[in-house]
Chain A
Amino acid sequence: MNAPVPGTPEHFIANAKDRVFFAFDRSDLDESAVKTLMGQTAWLKTYPNTKVTVEGHADERGTREYNLALGERRANAVKQFLKAQGIADARVKVISYGKERPAVIGSNEYAWAQNRRAVTVVAK
């Protein structure tokens, strides 16, 4: 197995946690999210030529349009955190998928918690 090439999307996944999770209808970052984002910040500072898109998501327990807004708010919370850590605005795009792209299938607390997320994706 080859180790991922440094600075690539695969390398980011292998060396930083790519996602943070949120409580129901919330977009604030808890302690664990902050730790994850500090790890992302370190990676982004090591590879300053990379760009990312933060994808904001919601669980299925909300209405479609509100969840689009909520996903954007979550993605933006991550963007603002990265910005505060010194990552340039222009390197971080946001997109919301609302409840349209769950990571985990299932109508249960575990699936909902996994789906209330913001995922940082390094551009290829």
Chain B
Amino acid sequence: MIKVLSRAWGRLGAALFAVALGVAGFSGAARAELRIDITRGNVDPIPIAIPAFGGGDEQSSRVGADLAGVLQADLERSGLFRGIDPRAFIQSFASMQVQPRFPDWQAINAQGLVQGRAEVQADGRLRVEFRLWDVFSTQQLKAQAYVTEPGNWRRIAHIIADAVYERLTGESGYFDTRIVYIAENGPATKRIKRLAIMDQDGANHRFLTDGADLVLTPRFSPSLQEITYMSYYNGVPRVYLYNIDSGKRERLGDFPGMTFAPRFSPDGNRVIMSMARGGSSDIYTMDLRTLERRRLTNTPAIDTSPSYSPDSQRIAFNSDRGGNQQLYVMNADGSGVRRISHGAGLYATPVWSPRGDYIAFTKIAQGRFFIGVMKPDGTGERLLSDGYLVEGPTWAPNGRVLMYFRQTPSDSRGRGGDSYLYSIDLTGYNERRVVTPVQASDPAWSPLIP
């Protein structure tokens, strides 16, 4: 059975086919299956062996080695896996028909083994096949084959990483995704900011704007074809749409005041944002098909940073209507407003998890900034990271990893003030820098690429 996994998407336009292979058990081992509980936090990384995906010729072997490297790097960045040094490997695979000699892999304490093969076929297309083995129970846990254009090899690596992650954790993966963010350079007083996009692992990096206009807070549409963001184009700060394929930019609506803090609705048909006018900021939605505008809040306060719940029924936002910045939740029509943050400090930038179970936020307390999560009813607040300035969490599509930016303090001579992206697990462990070619802020994580 062959199914089409992907439709045209950006420059990786080629169709991608996946073939589910038979999953065969090779023994009746009584041993418990390899499984990773990611809700615990700070687990010891699982040792996993990922030999180069060998191929029949030089080109295939090169692709196979690169592919295994990208796959291993993905899994290691999750903090759940530790790749075993290939120099320790005893067995090498001449073909997919060769069964693993499990004692050889047990001897180097590999718990998981990804056996794979990459082959550039006679028709020029790339065929990649992998099998995930539980080395100690000697079970095959997952097997899949893909046929695509050779240029898609990195995506295949990410898709396999997602498959391995999902099979071993029970959670969907987040490796076949992209990040849109603001690339920054120059002194703070004349900072140059550009829209930039890259794969989740930093590859295929591209600047989307040239830095002539100040741009802020990009967010993906669920279709991944569009980004909504804020731009000071022509000195008029407004919300814009950017089409990734065509590069076309379009101002969203004709609002009399500054529009900012945009975010797509989960179905992608609306953008929710703030408009500031006369000293007050209120929340509006705009239907992208009818261009109908709807006002959801109407107070003299600052109401901003709106974010839909994944079922579109509710909206989280922050407001100073109670005297200072706190988090509120309201129904999608603006009714039923309820404050949900009650801790000491200021709360901002609520972002609903794609799973619906948490709202991530930025908190300011005692002169420091924090990234935290709470349940949508405001209970269970947990702070995951802190610093002089950490801000703007965004969720991985599985709702188990967050990304945000961290800015260091600067001195009067302009030293410091560096801004970079970081990711962290929902458990509060595995905080790590996300590598970008220049300084970075305002990350937004894409959904899984369809």
Contacts and interface: CB of A to CB of B under 8 A. Distances in A.
Contacts of B411: 106-107
Interface residues on B, range: 35 or more
5 contacts: A25-B346, A65-B349, A68-B276, A73-B302, A106-B411
A33 to B, nearest CB: 15
B412 interface: yes
Interface string A70-92: 10110011001000000000000
A114 B206 CA distance: 36
Contact of B260 (A25, A60, A65, A107): A65
Nearest to B274: A69
Contacts of B214: 97, 100
B362 interface: yes
Contacts of B304: 65-66, 68-69
B279 A72 contact: yes
A34 B413 CA distance: 32
Given A102-B188, A103-B189, A106-B412, A63 B276 contact: no
Interface residues of A, number: 30
B255 interface: no
Contact of A60 (B346, B362, B389): B389
Interface centre among B324, B349, B410 (most CB of A within 10 A): B410
Contacts of A108: 412
Contacts of A66: 302, 304-305, 318, 320, 325, 348
A105 B418 CA distance: 12
A65 B389 contact: no
Nearest to B281: A69
Interface string B279-322: 11100000000000000000000101100000000000010100
B409 interface: yes
A64 to B, nearest CB: 6
A25 B414 CA distance: 24
B348 A63 contact: yes
B418 to A, nearest CB: 12
A16 interface: no
Given A64-B216, A68-B258, A72-B281, A96 B305 contact: no
B261 interface: yes
A17 B318 CA distance: 34
